Amino acid sequence: MAERRSTPGISHAEIKAGVFLTFCLALFIAMLFVLGKFGRAWHGRQELRVVFARVNAIRRESLVRYNGMELGHVKQVRILRVDQPLLSRLPPLSRRDLPHLPLTDDERDELRQLPEQGLDAILRDKIANRTVVLLVLDVLRENDTRRFRIDDEYRVTSSLMGDSAVEIRTGRGEPVSMDHDRLFLGLSGDMYTDLGKSISQVKDVLASMAEIVGGDVNRDAIRGQLHSFESYTARIDSAADSMATRLPNTWKDVDARLEETGKTLTDFSDRIKKIQPSVDEAMDSARKSITDTRTSFADSIGSLQEKVRTFRKDAGTSLADWRTRAAEYRESVPEKVRSAREWSERITPTVDKVDSFLTRADDQLDKGVASTRATLGGYLVTAGTLEETTYRLRKWPWSFARKPTPEIAAQQDVVWRHELARRQYAELRGELDRARQGLNATEASDKARAARIEQLLAESDRQLEAGPAEQPRKGRK
Using alpha carbons, list the distances in angstroms from residue 430 to 266, 436, 459: 66, 10, 16
Q: Are 308 and 362 in contact (CB under 8 A)?
A: yes
**Which residue in 329, 358, 356, 357 sits closest to 342, CA to CA?**
329
pLDDT of residue 229: 66
Model confidence pLDDT, tens digit, residues 128-140: 999 999 999 999 8
Distance CA 396, CA 419 (A): 14
Distance CA 467, CA 460 (A): 11
Model confidence pLDDT, tens digit, residues 98-124: 888 999 888 988 998 889 888 999 999
The angle that helices 105-112 and 119-127 make with each other, rounded to 10 degrees, is 170
Distance CA 47, CA 379 (A): 64
- β-pair partners for 137: 48, 74
User: Amino acid identity, residue 242?
Assistant: S
Dihedral pair phi/psi, residue 94, rounded to 5°:
-140, -175
Please name the residue ranges forming H helices in 68-151.
Answer: 84-89, 105-112, 119-127
Is the pLDDT higher at 249 or at 139?
139
Last residue in a domain, options 126, 154, 189: 189
Answer whether residue 340 is part of any domain: no
Answer whether residue 51 is part of any domain: yes
Q: Are 111 and 123 in contact (CB under 8 A)?
A: yes
- What contacts 237, CB < 8 A, 6 or more positions away? 196
Answer whether residue 410 is part of any domain: yes
Distance CA 255, CA 244 (A): 17
Answer whether residue 360 is part of any domain: no
Answer whether residue 459 is part of any domain: yes
The predicted model scores a pTM of 0.36
Last residue in a domain, options 152, 173, 189: 189
Model confidence pLDDT, tens digit, residues 376-410: 777 777 877 877 778 777 777 777 777 788 888 88
pLDDT of residue 124: 92
Answer whether residue 438 is part of any domain: yes
Q: Are 47 and 178 in contact (CB under 8 A)?
A: no
Domain of 47 in residue numbering reads as: 15-189
**Which residue in 141, 122, 131 sits closest to 180, CA to CA?**
141
pLDDT over 70 (residue 329) = no
Answer whether residue 449 is part of any domain: yes
Distance CA 364, CA 219 (A): 106
Model confidence pLDDT, tens digit, residues 152-181: 999 988 775 667 889 999 888 888 888 788
Average pLDDT score, the chain: 76
Last residue in a domain, options 174, 189, 204: 189
What is the number of domains present in the chain? 2
Kindly tell me the number of DSSP H helices and DSSP E strands found in the chain.
12, 7
Using alpha carbons, list the distances in angstroms from residue 410 to 139, 388, 414, 419, 470: 83, 14, 6, 14, 12
Q: Are 240 and 221 in contact (CB under 8 A)?
A: no
Q: How confident is the model at residue 332 (pLDDT cuts 50, 70, 90)?
A: low
Give the end-to-end CA distance of the chain in Å, rounded to a whole number.
36
* Secondary structure in 3-state letters for 146-162: CCCECCCEEEEEECCCC
